[in-house]
Chain A
Amino acid sequence: MATRIHVVGCEVVTCLGKSLGATWNALVAGQSGIRRHEHLTNGGYLQDVGGIVADFGPGSGNEDAAVAKLDSRFLHLAMAAARGAWEQSGLSAKSGGFDPARVAIAIGSAFGGLDLLEAEQSRMASRKNLAVSPYLIPGMIINQAAGQVSQHLGLYGPSVAPANACASGGHAIVLGALLLRAGEADLAICGAAESAFIPAVVNGFATMKALLGRRSGDRAEADPTQASRPFSVDRAGFVLSEGAGMVVLATQSAVESLGLQSLAVLEGWATNSDGYHMAMPSRDRIVSCLQASLRNAALAPEAIAYYNAHGTSTVLNDKVETEVLKLVFGAHAHRLPISSIKGALGHSLGAASAIEAAITVQALREQTIPPTINHIPDPVCDLDYVPNQARKASLDLAMSASFGFGGTNNALIFRRSA
């Protein structure tokens, strides 16, 4: 029988808070981390609202000394979330009780250290010898997040760095689970980190009409916290943010032998590919992915009590995802509470999927569903999106799904731990 896989640690660093607790409290209070930022307004960006982690990272004066030489924000975000998740698991205090070569690391990102690349390109152009910092290459490669976590937490198992756009974090969790199931590791630290606030990336998304952008007369003009509004009638694109999410996975035997606390069970999962379009989602392939996750967990659709949505606040995604849910859950779709925390957090691309997994685990623990904020009903999106106010509920099983450009999907199912 396949080993049961537990979540034993969770941490997030988001524009709403630099810990899971702070982020959760703000989410259930209906707050938004989206602000208008002067450096975006004046810096050649086609969108000047975003979700930025305040007082954090390189140059903030309180950066993590262990990674201080590497000036890319995604690495600092990854390190902070990994330290927090590891601490919560209790494994940092059990050094010697487990084999560090049996701890896998799976940390993804869509873009890696593009902020460092941009800064160094600019410096390079100003130098006669065209030299760049020796920290550029180490600081921008996506697998450096896993590398730094390995180095500073002393973990030596297999490491992978999924770059699956906005699905990276969930894919990382699936890869970690697969390594545990394959017997390659007993523990895994999995997640993703992202900070892609450079003009070319923001403007690239804006040009694709994926971002809200700067829209005259939009309700975000006067109140930036209303910029991200998943499933709303006037949704008009996603709002970029940064952050990181990490979970620590453990096999049943590791939980028992190390006396770890199970926060939730990773009951099932699935990933698949659209084979359809470079950026537009395939409704039918996403349906297949969600159905496969239910099969993997041997669950009927009706068993799912909460669905944490990809819910980007784009016109297309939220419409397609609503159709997907009706096809996967049938009549249950109309009874199923659905929420997108991107209304509060914006879209942190690769990190979002991992942050949402951690928040889904927290929802099970707290028996509370975080709301979809800024919500105004849309006849096209006619399900229960838990609008604007958190809701207490009896939650045993919850699904979180994410879909990435390039046509890559994941669905994770978590069960409340007894």
Chain B
Amino acid sequence: MTPIPLSDDLLIAEVVRVIRRAAKIPAVVAITADSRLVEDLCIDSLDLVGVVLQIQDHFDVAIEEDAMPHLARVGDVAAYLAGHAVVP
């Protein structure tokens, strides 16, 4: 489990790491804050559920169903996490 808040850059890097691992995205594919999960990273609907689950496990944050459609980019996920920080 990784505590939040991290600095923006560190949080983005951590989110990228979790997404890469969860969706098995090869190292040759660059992932940035602007990367769109579906269009750019080719994460399908099933993979997206897996990514969200891994994010929740990793950061110990519950992502509400209503929020899911708004998490289009990697940066959106990081912003959501920053906004729902559980300060250790």
Chain A interface (Cβ < 8 Å from any Cβ of B): 65, 68-69, 123, 127-129, 131, 133-135, 138
User: Which residue of A is nearest B23, CB measured?
Assistant: A69
Report the bound CA distance from A138 to B47 in whole Å.
12
Contact assessment for A134 and B49 in the assembled complex, using a CB-CB cutoff below 8 Å: yes
Contact assessment for A65 and B26 in the assembled complex, using a CB-CB cutoff below 8 Å: yes
B29 within 8 A of A: no
User: What 5 new A-B contacts, CB under 8 Å, besides A69-B47, A131-B56?
Assistant: A69-B24, A127-B57, A134-B46, A134-B47, A134-B53
CB proximity of A111 to chain B, nearest CB, Å: 23
B10 within 8 A of A: no
CB proximity of A189 to chain B, nearest CB, Å: 25
Given contacts A68-B24, A128-B62, contact A135 B50 (CB under 8 A): yes
Max count, chain B CB within 10 A of own CB: residue among A65, A68, A134, A135: A134
Please name all residues of chain A whose beta carbon is closer than 8 Å to the beta carbon of B46 when the two chains form the complex: 134-135, 138
A-B contact pairs, 8 of them (CB 8 A): A65-B24, A68-B24, A69-B23, A69-B24, A69-B47, A133-B53, A134-B46, A134-B50
Contact assessment for B50 and A69 in the assembled complex, using a CB-CB cutoff below 8 Å: yes
Q: A-side binding surface: helix, strand, loop or mixed?
A: loop
Report the bound CA distance from A134 to B44 in whole Å.
11
Against A, the Cβ 8 Å flags (1 = close, 0 = not) of B49-63 are 110010011000010
User: Which residue of A is nearest B26, CB measured?
Assistant: A65
CB proximity of A237 to chain B, nearest CB, Å: 39
Report the bound CA distance from A131 to B26 in whole Å.
26
Please name all residues of chain A whose beta carbon is closer than 8 Å to the beta carbon of B50 when the two chains form the complex: 69, 133-135
Report the bound CA distance from A321 to B44 in whole Å.
51
Please name all residues of chain B whose beta carbon is closer than 8 Å to the beta carbon of A138 when the two chains form the complex: 46
The 7 A-B pairs at the shortest CB distance, nearest first, are namely A134-B49, A68-B24, A134-B46, A134-B50, A69-B24, A131-B53, A133-B50
CB proximity of B22 to chain A, nearest CB, Å: 9
Query: Quick one: which of B1-44 are within 8 Å of A by CB?
Result: 23-24, 26
CB proximity of B50 to chain A, nearest CB, Å: 5
CB proximity of B60 to chain A, nearest CB, Å: 10
Report the bound CA distance from A135 to B46 in whole Å.
8
CB proximity of B65 to chain A, nearest CB, Å: 10
User: Which residue of A is nearest B49, CB measured?
Assistant: A134
Please name all residues of chain B whose beta carbon is closer than 8 Å to the beta carbon of A133 when the two chains form the complex: 50, 53
Report the bound CA distance from A69 to B47 in whole Å.
9
User: Which residue of B is nearest A138, CB measured?
Assistant: B46
Please name all residues of chain B whose beta carbon is closer than 8 Å to the beta carbon of A128 when the two chains form the complex: 62
Please name all residues of chain B whose beta carbon is closer than 8 Å to the beta carbon of A123 when the two chains form the complex: 57
Contact assessment for B62 and A129 in the assembled complex, using a CB-CB cutoff below 8 Å: yes
Please name all residues of chain A whose beta carbon is closer than 8 Å to the beta carbon of B57 when the two chains form the complex: 123, 127
Please name all residues of chain A whose beta carbon is closer than 8 Å to the beta carbon of B53 when the two chains form the complex: 131, 133-134
Report the bound CA distance from A111 to B53 in whole Å.
26
Report the bound CA distance from A65 to B47 in whole Å.
15
Please name all residues of chain A whose beta carbon is closer than 8 Å to the beta carbon of B24 when the two chains form the complex: 65, 68-69
CB proximity of B59 to chain A, nearest CB, Å: 13
Please name all residues of chain A whose beta carbon is closer than 8 Å to the beta carbon of B47 when the two chains form the complex: 69, 134
CB proximity of B55 to chain A, nearest CB, Å: 12
Report the bound CA distance from A411 to B17 in whole Å.
51
CB proximity of A128 to chain B, nearest CB, Å: 7
Report the bound CA distance from A134 to B51 in whole Å.
10
